[in-house]
Amino acid sequence: PLRVAIVAPSASDDLAFSQSMVDSVNALDRDIDLSITDGTFIIEDAAAAIRGYAEDGHDVVIAHGTQFGASLMEIAPDFPDVTFAWGTATDTQGLDNVFAYSPAADEGGYVNGWIASSLTETGIIGVVGPIEAGDAVAYINGFEAGALAGGAAEVNVTYTGSFGDVALAAEAAEAHLANNADVLTGTAQMVVGAVGVAADSDVPWFGTQANQTSLAPDLVVASQVYHWEVALEEMLSLRDSGVLGGQAFEINLANGGLVIEFNDAFALPAGVRDEAETMITGIGTGTVDISAPASGGLDVVACGLDEVDGDLNFYNWSEYMDPDLITAFQDQYGVT
């Protein structure tokens, strides 16, 4: 069998980033001996695992985290016969034994956002993001563009400053609901906290990275699911032919690497799913423009959230936001 290892930053069953890769490797139609080291949120631990798998003779080592790139650039040259896959990333840093992979997450984000605009009654949609980087930014930008194109009045975005802090994600979701958002989405492994808030408040949720329906079976509307196996199979075919790396791959709606998986238990308004399916096809063929319209809402970027006297307040404003946005947000929501 082909010996494959995955080094991932969060739990392999996180219903988000790490699980998307585990599920994808398991979906490959190959004889694979899979090893997994998950929960490596400390980069030094991830680097040790990556090097250890290479030393142990694994054929393919997947460094599943943008943050692992610097370590991989030091490790990969020491093992020229090992194929390394790194993502999300759009280039291989010039290394012949490194493949890069990334999702066009804005595509499914746009579809999710457009559907969300058909569900909101207040016109306000809340987004819970992690750190402003990688596929998280792409998804959120696409979601905002789709929601505004669909007629939502405001899309308010919070970056918590953490990929894994479930409590911060929950607090961010609560803050959005307090500010009249009635539809939520988010990205990264910490969204389980935000989904919990959505479920408790009977608010629709849109997922990404993996199918999140099991977190709230009655309220998850749809999930953009990463099918990395589309890119992985191309990488392995190249490896079979002697090409160990040096190329970058994108998964998208057109090549089937991104799939919008609807929750049949959630009743969408008449015609919305059919229109969304048409939109998915159009994005794949390039006939639907997903560039952002003029923003109708505030992009709220925060390092984190703090609870003061029972109220959720954003902090570290000046380091993370334009001063004019800070003032606008303070005026609109009465926070300091």
Query: Of 25-39, 58-72, 263-277, 283-297, which range is least confident?
Result: 283-297
For residue 263, pLDDT beyond 70: yes
Pair 100, 111 in one domain: no
Give the residue numbers spanning the domain of 181.
105-225+258-333
For residue 145, pLDDT beyond 50: yes
For residue 6, pLDDT beyond 90: yes
pLDDT tens profile 46-63: 999 999 999 999 999 999
Q: Could you give the number of structural domains in the chain? A: 2
Pair 75, 194 in one domain: no
The pLDDT of residue 41: 87
pLDDT tens profile 180-233: 999 999 999 999 999 999 999 999 999 999 999 999 999 999 999 999 999 999
Measuring CA to CA, how many Å separate 51 from each of 55, 81, 84, 88, 328? 6, 13, 11, 19, 48
Pair 150, 185 in one domain: yes
pLDDT tens profile 301-327: 443 444 333 333 333 333 333 445 445
Pair 30, 41 in one domain: yes
Mean pLDDT of 257-274: 96
For residue 30, pLDDT beyond 70: yes
Query: Of 9-23, 134-148, 297-311, which range is least confident?
Result: 297-311
Pair 97, 220 in one domain: no
Pair 132, 280 in one domain: yes
Pair 235, 300 in one domain: no
The pLDDT of residue 314: 36
Q: What percentage of the chain carries pLDDT values higher than 90?
A: 84
Pair 36, 74 in one domain: yes
Pair 109, 220 in one domain: yes
What string of H, E and C letters represents the secondary structure of the chain?
CEEEEEECCCCCCCCCHHHHHHHHHHHCCCCEEEEEECCCCCHHHHHHHHHHHHHCCCCEEEEECHHHHHHHHHHHHHCCCCEEEEECCCCCCCCCCEEEEEECHHHHHHHHHHHHHCCCCCCEEEEEECCCCHHHHHHHHHHHHHHHHCCCCEEEEEECCCCCCHHHHHHHHHHHHHCCCCEEEECCCCHHHHHHHHHHCCCCEEEEECCCHHHCCCCEEEEEEECCHHHHHHHHHHHHCCCCCCCEEEECCCCCCEEEEECCCCCCCCCHHHHHHHHHHHHHHCCCCCCCCCCCCCECCCCEEEEECCEEEEECHHHHCCHHHHHHHHHHHCCC
pLDDT tens profile 105-138: 999 999 999 999 999 999 999 999 999 988 999 9
Pair 98, 152 in one domain: no
Pair 271, 283 in one domain: yes
pLDDT level of residue 293 (50, 70, 90 thresholds) = low
Domain final position from 192, 217, 251: 251
Pair 23, 92 in one domain: yes
pLDDT tens profile 74-99: 999 999 999 999 999 999 999 999 99
The pLDDT of residue 292: 57
Domain CATH number, residue 38: 3.40.50.2300
The pLDDT of residue 86: 98
